[in-house]
Amino acid sequence: MSTRTITVIGFVAVIAALVTLEILGRRKIGRIPTLSEWLGYVMRARTGRALILAGWLWLGWHYFAR
């Protein structure tokens, strides 16, 4: 198994973990919040709101302007 394959598996594993958390959150298993819930909680404050929107903008710049 090459290093590249291991790297790809690592990314897939982390993304799969995120998807699993979202599914568990939607099914109300283990008191895990959904992405929408914790984003909403973080964005209650203006600072959190600014940070999350800045993160969204950065993602756009990173994938679409570069």
Partner 1 sequence: MTAGNTGADGAAAERSSRPPEQPPTRRPPDGPLPLGARPARNAIVGAGVIGYAWLLGGAAPFSTRALLYVLLPGAVLGVVAFARPPERIPPPESVDVAGFSYWMICIALLFEWEASAVRQDTPAHPSLTDLINPLIAPHPIKAAAIVVWLLAGWALVKR
State the nearest-atom distance from the C-beta of 36 to partner 1, in Å: 7
Q: What is the CA radius of gyration of the chain?
A: 16
| Alpha-carbon span 23 to 17, nearest angstrom | 10
> Which residues bind to partner 1, rule: CB under 8 A?
2-4, 7-8, 10-11, 14-15, 17-18, 21, 25, 30-33, 35-41, 43-44, 46, 49-50, 52-53, 56-57, 59-66
Whether residue 39 contacts residue 52, with contact meaning beta carbons closer than 8 Å, is answered with yes
CB of 1 to partner 1, least distance (A): 12
